[in-house]
Structure 1
Amino acid sequence: MIKLIMCLKRREDISREEFQSYWRDKHGPFFMENAHVMGSKKYVQSHTLSSPLNDGMRASRGMQDAYDGVAEVWFESEEQLMAAMGSSEMAELGPKLVADENNFIDHSKSSAFIVEEVEF
């Protein structure tokens, strides 16, 4: 299994609460309705908490501001993900997916990458 990680920053014109509400209540269901097109096996949203613990960790290490959330999407393999991304169904879905993301994500401040988990 491989995993797509997306570290997300919200658009500047919306609050973290609005970002998380849209992501959870609109984008999440939209994504899950179309997960089969992408070959996704699992989808998890991690919503950043407004917490003094986060502020303390960031300050103690000189880190950047927190992301507003992290999305994790699991796939069987890189080859299967690439095959799904090259399908005609994905060619139709892709622009709709990005358009929906544009409702709440600032892509220029976000990041996405493929990982392989290593458990200890």
Structure 2
Amino acid sequence: MLKLTFCLRRLPSLTLAQFQDYWLNQHGPLVRRLQPALRMVRYVQLHRLENDLALGMQRVRGAPEPFDGIAELWWTDEEAFRAAGRDPEARKAGKLLVEDEAKFIDLPRSPLWLNREEVIYAERAAVVLP
């Protein structure tokens, strides 16, 4: 599997709640609609929690400001990713996604990279795929 990890920071004009609502209810369905052209096999949104547990853990560890969310996009392999990059329909879909992302993501402050997972430990019950 090939995975793209995208660490998101919201636009300064949005609250965390506004950012997460748009991401889940507007951008998420757009990604789902464009998925066939992009050849993705999985898309996951990790929404930051802002509560006493999260803030306490951050303080204890002396951690920097957390990202507002993380998106994970999965392809079966590098060739599927490259094939999408060669397809005009996929490039058009990618352009639509970036245009939409600019409405809620501070793109210059939101790093992304391709990676592969190296699972060190996973209990069967904890690994649930839709």
Q: Report the TM-score when normalising by structure 2.
A: 0.86
Report what 2:32 is aligned to. Answer: 32
- CA positional deviation for 1:85: 1.6
Q: Which 4+ residue blocks in structure 1 deviate beyond 6 angstroms?
A: none
Count of matched residue pairs: 120
Structure 2: how far apart are the matches of 1:79 and 1:60? 43
Matches within 5 A, 1:1-120: 1-119=1-119, 120=121
User: Could you tell me how far 1:53 is from its partner in structure 2?
Assistant: 1.9
Aligned to 2:125: none
Of all paired residues, the percent bearing the same amino acid is 36
TM-score by length of 1: 0.93
Counterparts of 2:93 and 2:40 in 1: how far apart (Å)? 14
One-letter amino acid of the structure 2 residue matched with residue 64 of structure 1: P
Tell me the alpha carbon deviations over residues 41-62 of structure 1, each in whole angstroms, 9 at most, x when there is no partner.
0111111111122222222222
Of 50-59 and 34-43, more deviation after overlay is shown by 50-59
Q: Output the CA distance in 2 between the equivalents of 1:47 and 1:18.
A: 12
**DSSP-derived class of the 1:28 partner:** helix
1:63 is paired with a residue whose SS is coil
CA distance in 2, matches of 1:83, 1:38: 9
CA-based RMSD of the aligned residues comes to 1.1
